Chains A and B, each alone.
Chain A
Amino acid sequence: MTRYIIIRLIQAVVTLIVISMVIFALARASGDPVMLMAPPMATLEDIEVIRQYLGLDKSLPEQYWTFLKSMARGDLGKSIQNRRDVTTLIAQRLPNTVSLSLPAIFLGITVSLILGVTAACRRGTWLDNGVRYLAILGQALPSFWLAIVAISVFAVALGWLPTSGMGGPANYVLPVLTLSFFMLPIFTRLIRSSMLEVLDSEYVKLARIKGLSERVVVWKHALRNAIIPLLTATGITFATIITGAVIIETVFAWPGIGRLMAEAMIRRDFPVIQASVMLVAVVVLMVNLLVDIVYAYVDPRIRY
């Protein structure tokens, strides 16, 4: 087990280094920062001074090393747009994204559990087909459009809820609902197929023979085992939520990191994007590492 954890840790570090190299390369490809900083009247000597000041006169490996060191110190650069520390910008926005996505994840998982399990138990009926078509439809409709429709119906036409921004609990309703809808199709499908497999197994048959009520068999014996393979989908969930957050926060003018990224994209504010992507990369890697370790712990066959 220790060996497994060590191997996975090394792999995670290597992945992180590769990602940082890609980001570094893109940062260099995104244009010459000297030209952005230099005033229009700058002489060649001035430009050379700025170049030295920014450390751009050094060799590429040296520059990369400096880049790594400042990353490790948590110094992710300054936003081009307002010269503020990117770290502070992200730290300000992060809680808003968390407070939006946690209820959405909770709601999404609950609803897809109910839908997936009911569909699997009534395989082949109209209910199962209905859930399946709903999942297919949910995957095909552009989610940003769904958010727009939700705003125009519930906020503009009916006036029940605020259109955008943050504020009271009412502001949470539409973004949380649409964000949770993001993960519904994938999750319902996964749970349904996992449940179908488990319901076919010997121990479920045994539980039925023992005379347990159908409710206990399904929700206790079967569901507990059906959830284990879903652990590996945690990484996918996370990626879906991040993608969803960028779009949903943009539509609802929600001041989270998703919107920060979308705005930075429009202003071509590279340091902000770079830092956000690096942050997400670290979190994704950590989540996956944790999932792998938990999974290896639960299922001993996985270990090396």
Chain B
Amino acid sequence: MSSELAIARAGFGTRVRHIWQTSRRLPLIPIIIMSAVVFVAIFADLITPYPPNEMSLPDRLTPPFFMPEGSTAHILGTDTIGRDILSRMMYGARISLSVSLMVIAIASVIGTFLGMIAGYRGGRVDAVLMRVTDAALAFPALLIALLLAVALGPKFSTVVLALSALSWAPFARMMRGEVLKLRGEDFVAHARVIGCSQARILIKHLFPNVVNTLVVLMTMSVGLVILIEASLSFLGAGIPPPTPSWGSMVADGRNLFDRAWWISLFPSLAIGSVVLSGNFLGDWIRDKMDPRLRQL
């Protein structure tokens, strides 16, 4: 008798226990954090207590509510010009998430395309593409981003462009390795024998076999991209003010840490917990999909 059947027949208590046991195997805290951030990012307009850039000089440097002088009007306090930290963080989540989603989308498409072609064609194409990839991997990421920010001006599109220019290389590397392993398999040879075009072999036959690895790498990149975006904003090369971003919020409070630690502490915690959750989720998906990828 299958276990599903047993559970269907069992009483309510057993069913609850089953759900509990299944959920215990999920990385619950990372999932909760990630979903909360996604929710906040999507509905920031509706749930923020204040507009993110609304100044209120009488309320400036209000500490968070649990401090003696704090008030529940500003739960996480306010910054030097009286803007609500919580509201700004909620909008900041939107920036961080949209930047990292766009960057990962662009980087994974470019990286997968180049990597698969390099792995499948081999020879000179492979040599040239992998040299370019190596160069991109070896170059300090932040510098390219700074260069682009100066040349094109700090704006949303520049940040996305800069981060994509840095993030495609690991995808190309990984995809090339995967295709290289599969290239000699029988199913590829069969596809070739029945006259499939190169594009068809790559898309219909090889891609479904590498998509697991791709998903794992994409999840693991979320944290990294958010972290670089935060560093860029911290240096002033990110999305320009007054648009709130977690990195620039940390930068705002950096000279006031001894007097008004809440300005930079809460955004830093947000960055840290999202990056951690992203990494844990990536680890978990990797183990679920293919434990062989452990060394990733």
Q: Which residues of the other chain, A, contact B146 by a CB distance below 8 angstroms?
A: 246, 261-262, 265, 273, 277
Which B residue sits closest to A273, measured CB to CB?
B150
Contact B143 A145 (CB under 8 A): no
Say whether B190 faces chain A, with CB atoms less than 8 Å apart.
no
Q: A151-B257, A243-B141 are in contact. Are A268 and B150 (CB under 8 A)?
A: yes
Contact A144 B231 (CB under 8 A): yes
A11 to B279, CA, bound (A): 35
Q: Which residues of the other chain, B, contact A273 by a CB distance below 8 angstroms?
A: 146-147, 150
Q: A148-B250, A148-B254, A274-B147 are in contact. Are A142 and B236 (CB under 8 A)?
A: no
Say whether A41 faces chain B, with CB atoms less than 8 Å apart.
no
Contact B138 A29 (CB under 8 A): no
Say whether A156 faces chain B, with CB atoms less than 8 Å apart.
yes
A157 to B257, CA, bound (A): 10
Contact B257 A149 (CB under 8 A): yes
Q: Which residues of the other chain, A, contact B247 by a CB distance below 8 angstroms?
A: 142, 144
Chain A 143-159 interface residues, beta-carbon cutoff 8 Å to B: 143-145, 148-149, 151-152, 156-157
Say whether A264 faces chain B, with CB atoms less than 8 Å apart.
yes
A239 to B148, CA, bound (A): 18
Q: Which residues of the other chain, B, contact A251 by a CB distance below 8 angstroms?
A: 254
Q: How far is the CB of A33 from chain B (nearest CB, A)?
A: 12
Chain B 88-108 interface residues, beta-carbon cutoff 8 Å to A: none
Contact B258 A157 (CB under 8 A): yes
Q: How far is the CB of A241 from chain B (nearest CB, A)?
A: 9
Chain A 218-270 interface residues, beta-carbon cutoff 8 Å to B: 235-236, 238-240, 242-243, 246-247, 250-251, 261-262, 264-266, 268-270
A240 to B258, CA, bound (A): 29
Contact A247 B234 (CB under 8 A): yes
Q: How far is the CB of A275 from chain B (nearest CB, A)?
A: 11
Contact B257 A277 (CB under 8 A): no
Q: Which residues of the other chain, B, contact A137 by a CB distance below 8 angstroms?
A: 272, 276
Contact B140 A239 (CB under 8 A): yes
Contact A242 B140 (CB under 8 A): yes
Say whether A213 faces chain B, with CB atoms less than 8 Å apart.
no
Which A residue sits closest to B275, measured CB to CB?
A140
Contact B257 A152 (CB under 8 A): yes
Which B residue sits closest to A197, measured CB to CB?
B295
**Interface magnitude class on chain B:** 35 or more
Q: Which residues of the other chain, A, contact B150 by a CB distance below 8 angstroms?
A: 30, 264-265, 268-270, 273
* A side interface size, CB within 8 A: 54
Q: A149-B257, A239-B140, A250-B235 are in contact. Are A142 and B151 (CB under 8 A)?
A: no
Say whether B135 faces chain A, with CB atoms less than 8 Å apart.
yes
Say whether A281 faces chain B, with CB atoms less than 8 Å apart.
yes
Say whether A5 faces chain B, with CB atoms less than 8 Å apart.
no
Chain B 248-272 interface residues, beta-carbon cutoff 8 Å to A: 250-251, 254, 257-258, 261, 264, 268, 271-272
Q: A148-B254, A239-B141, A284-B140 are in contact. Are A265 and B236 (CB under 8 A)?
A: yes
Contact A277 B254 (CB under 8 A): no
Which of B131, B143, B152, B258 has a CB less than 8 Å from the CB of A261? Answer: B143
Interface positions of A (Cβ within 8 A of B): 11, 14-15, 18-19, 23, 26-27, 29-30, 136-137, 139-145, 148-149, 151-152, 156-157, 193, 235-236, 238-240, 242-243, 246-247, 250-251, 261-262, 264-266, 268-270, 273-274, 276-277, 280-281, 284-285, 288
Known: A141-B271, A270-B151. 14 other contacts (CB 8 A): A14-B131, A144-B234, A151-B257, A235-B137, A239-B139, A239-B141, A246-B142, A246-B143, A261-B146, A265-B146, A273-B150, A277-B144, A281-B139, A288-B138
Interface positions of B (Cβ within 8 A of A): 131-132, 134-135, 137-144, 146-153, 223, 227, 230-231, 234-237, 247, 250-251, 254, 257-258, 261, 264, 268, 271-272, 275-276, 279, 295
Q: Lowest 7 A-B CB distances belong to which pairs?
A: A145-B268, A26-B151, A152-B257, A140-B275, A30-B151, A242-B140, A239-B140
24 contacts between A and B (CB under 8 A): A11-B131, A26-B148, A139-B275, A139-B279, A140-B275, A141-B268, A142-B272, A145-B272, A148-B250, A148-B254, A235-B137, A239-B139, A242-B140, A243-B140, A261-B143, A261-B146, A262-B235, A265-B235, A266-B236, A268-B153, A277-B144, A277-B146, A285-B138, A288-B138
